[in-house]
């Protein structure tokens, strides 16, 4: 039964106190596994939006509290799942909320299957911890992951294997999870500190109350709603797809170049001097091998778009699917590729960056290129292009002003050029793990994220197998 | 001079030898020191000034050396020349200490004449025979990254030491262009002096005792003058031919890249004296002496740029090579100008580019470019993205060295062609 109270009613002040009071009442119905009775008739919302003059207004209303938790992780992508598992292992109560119907975010639904960047300049792996745990579990699954320990070639995972793995782990972990549930707003107390988040789902608009919120939404939706300052950036938005009946391999050193079986399938460089500014169709060597035999994942860079604009997103969702289909048709025209088919386009757009937090520490391009060392290092990113491997400080996860919220994943506090590296899958695992542990420490020590004992955090990270240099 | 005679000659030579080492092995804070070392040679300074049509500070030093040499015969060889010192000592332990070479014609003078005549037409043909350049060349060995480079930088001095050990002092006395040039200065001064004073003394006066270096030069006769004339005409003609060949070589090459500041290819191989100062100066070790693969026999030993080392490219913070060239084959460029000098042009092979083939989330070239010259550009019509290189590209190689494709880089620096 849905409880709705009209604006100006019992809890007009809208502060934390009355909502907490309510939470006690509704806590019992908040199990995600609870099934509704058959054939139950309900009336709709009592507070629909109405037209007032030339504006659409929605009356002030009470939001039912779905759940109450210690650590709330918003977003179940690489950073969110890492944060949730790591916090839960510390023995605190964790709730994980994800907008799609599966976990893994861009690593599964986005088909970003390459686990990259993982190595330093000398091809030594510098990302371990929870990410390495995931990969170890995938190692023993058939068709789960390929190209492990073949630096500088990066491992490639299978999306379905990883979805299975995360579902399996969540079910066994004791984490309370809500899927198909969008984080849309923050809940603040009277001092402006975050006390939870508002979600939209098929159950309507509901609140989850929490002591600490980890914003792993990718777009920083929760910290932005809570009033933290951020930088908005626009970059390319693509749509990855998988194509079947193709045998094409990596051209990076390692796998493709050494394996005689694959040598014949590697794209050959053009003879002589390439012409200037030429664009061409795929020459038959499209995409990169995945654990599934004869299936490649095909990356797409896409045009620059605004990831926070629904019109841009819609436009790209439609155009990208049309473009992918026609590119696969063109690919079929190449000799040897006649039987290639489009297995799937990714369910999620490949949004690279949208909001970048203004944190206690903004990680700068200059710092990562000069090999800056941080006292509050929580992990490393691998080397990428001409940037060497670099340290990520804890300060990049903590908003400069707003309390009780941590950021992890692609929306952390870093300059654009840096965020373009920290947004990648294994680096999201690193920031997620650190944010999860820090949040658990906040609960256990009853402190704010910015006051977390960094030495203790580093010790915990170390215990969980993370690499800190 | 009397003072100099009192001090044992060997001691002065040793002091100069050590001084030369200090200069070419830049232990001095002054990075351009090696350049002044070669510019002391009047042969190098005069020829390169004529060929490059410019004069710089080092030429003043050379002028002093030239003036003293015209007064005191082979003064430079006897006291200053570190190559001379090395070869004299080699000769002492060598196999042939006789003066058999006295029969040889004075090759060094013809080398000088050919070179200066070529220099007038912009191509000083045999400038690389200067002993100071040959002396300093092996000191680039610490920047040699492969056995070929090691062999090339050591070749000149190795040949001289070896030949002196086997054949005696033939190089110093007869072949060396610097000694030939000094002889000519001395003879010219004498001839002028004779004309002015009416003195009837011998054209060449031998001073001192029989030292291996102090020999009587043949008097200048008509037949000699004729040979000088032919050497001059020949030098000029060969110089012009070499320039044409150089220009053609550049037109036909796809991979020939010279260090920043290099003069156009038609003159480069002539002006370059193979001193390897630039090889030595390069902090990223991307400048190599050419084995002849890039620019043929004419360019043998001259510096070429190769991006064959991990992540090493022509740094946007460095203009060291342009500062150390003694001849102006590499024009001295301030950093801002050097960063505009076009070494080559980056071109993309979309047949192997990881981004163009949808293989990887790769924009390594765009990230790496210090000049904002590479942009991964979305093309709506083919619904794909490609690295596109714009006019800001100078061919520094930053993109090439980070490009991860194998085999063969998807983005490479090629010899620049007119659009």
Nearest to B351 among A268, A302, A424 (CB): A268
B414 CB within 8 Å of a chain A CB: yes
Which of the two residues, B350 and A167, has the higher pLDDT score? A167
pLDDT bin (cut points 50, 70, 90) of residue B78 is confident
- Range name among B136-140, B217-221, B346-350 with the lowest pLDDT average: B217-221
| Element (DSSP H or E) covering residue B195 | helix B177-197
Q: What is the ipTM of this complex?
A: 0.77
- Range name among A332-336, B126-130, B137-141 with the lowest pLDDT average: A332-336
Please judge whether B380 and A250 are an interchain contact, meaning their C-beta atoms are less than 8 angstroms apart.
Answer: no
Please judge whether B378 and A301 are an interchain contact, meaning their C-beta atoms are less than 8 angstroms apart.
Answer: yes
Taking contacts as CB-CB distances below 8 angstroms, the residues of chain A near B403 are: none
Which of the two residues, B55 and A23, has the higher pLDDT score? B55
**A221 and A358 assigned to the same domain:** yes
Please judge whether A152 and B367 are an interchain contact, meaning their C-beta atoms are less than 8 angstroms apart.
Answer: no
**A223 and A82 assigned to the same domain:** yes
Taking contacts as CB-CB distances below 8 angstroms, the residues of chain B near A257 are: 406-407
Are A430 and A392 in contact by the 8 Å Cβ rule? The answer is yes
Phi/psi of residue A409, each to 5°?
A: 95, -150
Domain membership of residue A186 (yes or no) is: yes
Domain membership of residue A455 (yes or no) is: yes
Which of the two residues, B106 and B257, has the higher pLDDT score? B257
Residue B26's pLDDT is 67
B56 CB within 8 Å of a chain A CB: no
**A371 and A324 assigned to the same domain:** no
Domain membership of residue A173 (yes or no) is: yes
Given a cut of 90, whether residue A394 has pLDDT beyond it is yes
State the count of interchain CB pairs (< 8 A) between A and B: 135
**A208 and A315 assigned to the same domain:** no
Q: Which residues contact A146 (CB under 8 A, 6 or more apart)?
A: A155, A156, A289, A290, A291
Please judge whether A251 and B349 are an interchain contact, meaning their C-beta atoms are less than 8 angstroms apart.
Answer: no
Please judge whether A301 and B355 are an interchain contact, meaning their C-beta atoms are less than 8 angstroms apart.
Answer: yes
Domain final position from A302, A324, A351: A351
Kindly identify which residue of chain A lies nearest to residue B361, measuring between CA atoms: A299
**A256 and A291 assigned to the same domain:** yes
Nearest to B359 among A236, A251, A420 (CB): A251
Kindly identify which residue of chain B lies nearest to residue A274, measuring between CA atoms: B349
For residue A207, give the CATH number of its domain: 3.50.50.60
Three-state DSSP class for A361? coil
Taking contacts as CB-CB distances below 8 angstroms, the residues of chain A near B414 are: 273
Phi/psi of residue B189, each to 5°?
A: -60, -45
**A313 and A182 assigned to the same domain:** no
Domain final position from A327, A351, A375: A351
Residue B223's pLDDT is 67
Please judge whether A386 and B311 are an interchain contact, meaning their C-beta atoms are less than 8 angstroms apart.
Answer: yes
**A101 and A208 assigned to the same domain:** yes
Taking contacts as CB-CB distances below 8 angstroms, the residues of chain B near A277 are: 388-389
pLDDT bin (cut points 50, 70, 90) of residue B220 is low
Distance, CA of A171 to CA of A161 (rounded, Å):
15
Residue A68's pLDDT is 96
Domain boundaries, given as residue ranges, for chain B: 2-244, 343-419
Q: How far is CA B329 from the centre of its chain?
A: 8
Domain membership of residue A410 (yes or no) is: yes
Kindly identify which residue of chain B lies nearest to residue A155, measuring between CA atoms: B360
Kindly identify which residue of chain B lies nearest to residue A416, measuring between CA atoms: B367
Which tens digit of pLDDT belongs to each residue from A285-326? 788 888 988 888 999 999 999 999 999 999 999 999 999 999
Domain final position from A351, A380, A412: A351
| Top CATH class, B343-419 | alpha beta
Whole-structure pTM value: 0.78
Instruction: Report cis status (omega within 30 of 0) of the bond before A186.
Output: no
B389 CB within 8 Å of a chain A CB: yes
Handedness of CA B291, B296, B301, B303 (dihedral sign): negative
Residue B197's pLDDT is 76
Which of the two residues, B47 and B199, has the higher pLDDT score? B47
Residue-by-residue DSSP string for A269-331:
PPSSPPPTT------S--SEE-SSTTEEEE-----EE-TT-HHHHHHHHHHHHHHHHHHHHHH
B351 CB within 8 Å of a chain A CB: yes
Please judge whether B378 and A386 are an interchain contact, meaning their C-beta atoms are less than 8 angstroms apart.
Answer: no
Average pLDDT on A389-395 reads: 96
Say if strands A94-97 and A176-178 run parallel, antiparallel, or are unpaired. Answer: parallel
**A293 and A364 assigned to the same domain:** no
B8 CB within 8 Å of a chain A CB: no
Number of independent structural domains in chain A: 2
- Rg of the Cα atoms in chain A: 23
Domain membership of residue A35 (yes or no) is: no
Given a cut of 90, whether residue B311 has pLDDT beyond it is no
Average pLDDT on A439-461 reads: 96
**A299 and A346 assigned to the same domain:** yes
Which of the two residues, A276 and A467, has the higher pLDDT score? A467
Tokens of B316: 């946007």
**A458 and A417 assigned to the same domain:** yes
Please judge whether A273 and B350 are an interchain contact, meaning their C-beta atoms are less than 8 angstroms apart.
Answer: no
Residue A49's pLDDT is 87
Distances (CA, A) of A142 to A82, A161, A315: 23, 9, 37
Domain membership of residue A382 (yes or no) is: yes
Are A370 and A390 in contact by the 8 Å Cβ rule? The answer is no
From B347's Cα to the closest Cα of chain A, the distance in A is 6
Residue A44's pLDDT is 63
- What domain range includes position A366? 78-144+159-233+353-463
**A297 and A391 assigned to the same domain:** no
Q: Which of B:247-286 have CB within 8 Å of A?
A: 254
Domain membership of residue A2 (yes or no) is: no
Domain membership of residue A383 (yes or no) is: yes
Kindly identify which residue of chain B lies nearest to residue A384, measuring between CA atoms: B364
Given a cut of 90, whether residue A133 has pLDDT beyond it is yes
**A435 and A319 assigned to the same domain:** no
Average pLDDT on A98-108 reads: 97
| Element (DSSP H or E) covering residue A69 | strand A65-74
Which tens digit of pLDDT belongs to each residue from A29-55? 444 444 545 667 776 666 788 898 999
Which tens digit of pLDDT belongs to each residue from B260-310? 999 988 889 888 999 888 998 899 999 999 988 888 888 888 999 998 877
Residue A25's pLDDT is 41
CA dihedral B212, B216, B222, B228 (to 10 degrees): 30
Residue A26's pLDDT is 41
């Amino acid at each position: 039964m849905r409880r709705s109270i009209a604006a100006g009613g019992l809890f007009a002040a809208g502060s934390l106190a009355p909502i907490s009071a309510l939470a006690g009442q509704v806590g019992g119905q908040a199990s995600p596994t609870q099934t509704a009775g058959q054939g139950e008739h309900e009336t709709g919302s009592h507070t629909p939006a109405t037209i007032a003059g030339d504006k659409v207004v929605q009356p002030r209303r009470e939001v039912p509290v779905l759940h109450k938790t210690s650590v709330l992780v918003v977003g179940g992508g690489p950073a969110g799942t890492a944060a949730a598992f790591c916090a839960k292992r510390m023995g605190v109560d964790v709730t994980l909320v994800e907008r799609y119907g599966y976990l893994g975010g861009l690593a599964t639904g986005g088909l970003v299957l390459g686990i990259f960047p993982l190595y330093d300049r000398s091809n030594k792996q510098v990302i371990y911890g929870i990410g390495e745990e995931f990969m170890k579990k995938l190692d023993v699954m058939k068709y789960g992951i390929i190209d492990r320990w073949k630096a500088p070639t990066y491992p490639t995972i299978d999306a379905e294997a990883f979805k299975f793995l995360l579902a399996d782990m969540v079910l066994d972990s004791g984490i309370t999870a809500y899927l198909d549930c969008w984080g849309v707003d923050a809940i603040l107390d009277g001092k402006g500190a975050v006390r939870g988040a508002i979600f939209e789902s098929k159950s309507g608009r509901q609140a989850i109350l929490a002591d600490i919120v980890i914003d792993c939404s990718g777009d920083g939706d929760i910290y932005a709603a809570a009033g933290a300052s951020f930088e908005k950036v626009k970059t390319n938005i693509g749509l990855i797809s998988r194509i079947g009946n193709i045998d094409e391999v990596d051209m990076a050193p390692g796998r493709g170049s050494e394996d005689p079986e694959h040598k014949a399938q590697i794209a050959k460089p053009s003879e002589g001097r390439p012409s200037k500014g030429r664009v061409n169709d795929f020459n038959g060597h499209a995409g990169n091998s995945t654990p599934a035999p004869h299936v490649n994942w095909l990356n797409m860079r896409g045009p620059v778009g605004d990831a926070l604009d629904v019109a841009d997103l819609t436009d790209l969702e439609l155009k990208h699917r049309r473009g992918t289909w026609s590119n696969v048709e063109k690919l079929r025209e190449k000799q040897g590729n006649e039987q290639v088919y489009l297995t799937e386009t990714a369910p999620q757009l490949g949004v690279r960056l949208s909001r970048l937090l203004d944190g206690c520490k903004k990680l700068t391009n200059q710092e990562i290129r000069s090999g800056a060392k941080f006292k509050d290092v929580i992990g490393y990113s691998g080397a990428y292009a001409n940037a060497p491997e670099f340290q990520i400080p804890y300060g990049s996860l903590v908003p400069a002003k707003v309390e009780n919220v941590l950021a992890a994943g692609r929306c952390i506090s870093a300059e654009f050029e840096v965020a373009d590296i920290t947004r990648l899958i294994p680096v999201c695992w690193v920031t997620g793990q650190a944010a999860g542990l820090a949040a658990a420490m906040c609960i256990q020590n009853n402190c704010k994220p910015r006051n977390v004992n960094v030495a203790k955090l580093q010790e915990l990270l170390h215990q969980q197998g993370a690499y800190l240099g | 001079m009397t003072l100099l005679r009192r001090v044992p000659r060997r001691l002065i030579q040793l002091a100069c030898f050590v001084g030369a080492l200090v200069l070419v092995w830049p232990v001095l804070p002054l990075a351009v020191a090696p350049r002044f070392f070669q510019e002391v040679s009047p042969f190098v300074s005069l020829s390169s000034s004529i060929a490059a049509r410019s004069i710089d500070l080092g030429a003043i030093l050379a002028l002093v050396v030239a003036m003293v040499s015209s007064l005191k015969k082979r003064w430079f060889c006897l006291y200053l020349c570190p190559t001379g010192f090395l070869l004299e000592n080699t000769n002492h332990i060598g196999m042939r200490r006789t003066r058999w070479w006295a029969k040889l014609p004075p090759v060094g003078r013809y080398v000088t004449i050919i070179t200066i005549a070529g220099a007038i037409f912009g191509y000083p043909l045999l400038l690389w025979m200067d002993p100071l350049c040959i002396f300093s060349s092996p000191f680039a060995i610490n920047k040699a990254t492969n056995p070929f480079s090691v062999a090339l930088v050591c070749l000149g001095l190795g040949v001289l030491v070896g030949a002196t050990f086997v054949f005696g002092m033939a190089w110093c006395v007869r072949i060396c262009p610097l000694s030939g040039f000094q002889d000519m200065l001395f003879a010219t001064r004498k001839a002028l002096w004779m004309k002015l004073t009416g003195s009837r003394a011998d054209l060449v006066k031998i001073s001192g005792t029989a030292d291996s270096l102090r020999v009587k030069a043949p008097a200048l006769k008509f037949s000699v003058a004729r040979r000088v004339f032919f050497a001059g005409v020949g030098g000029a003609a060969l110089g012009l031919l070499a320039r044409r060949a150089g220009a053609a070589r550049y037109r036909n090459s796809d991979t020939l890249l010279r260090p920043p500041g290099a003069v156009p290819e038609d003159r480069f191989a002539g002006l370059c004296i193979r001193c390897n100062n630039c090889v030595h100066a390069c902090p990223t070790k991307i400048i190599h002496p050419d084995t002849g693969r890039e620019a043929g026999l004419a360019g043998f030993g001259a510096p070429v740029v190769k991006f064959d080392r991990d992540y090493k490219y022509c740094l946007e913070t460095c203009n060291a090579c342009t500062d150390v060239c003694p001849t102006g084959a590499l024009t001295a460029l301030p950093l801002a100008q050097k960063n505009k000098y076009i070494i080559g042009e980056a071109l993309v092979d979309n047949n192997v580019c990881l981004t163009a083939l949808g293989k990887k989330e790769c924009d390594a070239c765009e990230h790496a470019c210090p000049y904002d010259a590479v942009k991964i550009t979305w093309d709506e019509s083919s619904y794909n993205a490609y690295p596109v290189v714009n006019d800001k590209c100078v061919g520094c190689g930053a993109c090439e060295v980070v490009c991860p494709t194998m085999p063969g880089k998807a983005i490479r620096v090629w010899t620049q062609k007119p659009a």
